[in-house]
Amino acid sequence: MRRSHDALRADHAVQCPNCGSTKRPHAACRECGYVRPGLKLALSKEE
Ligand SMILES: [Zn+2]
């Protein structure tokens, strides 16, 4: 029982579907600013 909650506290990381780098789910990708389909943060080097 002592590890029963580990899954909920795990440090999640997903691969950015846009550039492939590791990022946190629901957090903007540091490489490309991708968050989820339909939402992408503008990076400073935007053209
Ligand atoms: Zn990315």
Ligand 1 mean position to 7 CA, how many Å?
25
Q: Alpha helix (H) ranges present in 1-47?
A: 6-9
- Compute the distance from residue 11 Cα to the ligand 1 centre, in Å: 18
Backbone angles phi, psi at 14, to 5 degrees: -125, 160
Q: Residue 1 C-alpha to ligand 1 middle, in angstroms?
A: 37
- 47 confidence band (pLDDT: 50, 70, 90): low
Report the pLDDT averaged over residues 10-16.
Answer: 82
Give the per-residue pLDDT at 20: 94
Residue 39 corresponds to which tokens in the numbers above? Answer: 């939402």
Residue 33 has pLDDT above 60, yes or no: yes
User: CA 42 from chain center: how many Å?
Assistant: 15
Residue 46 has pLDDT above 70, yes or no: no
Distance 3 CA to ligand 1 centre (A): 32
The whole model's pTM is what?
A: 0.56
Instruction: Point out the least confidently predicted range of 4-8, 19-23, 34-38.
Output: 4-8
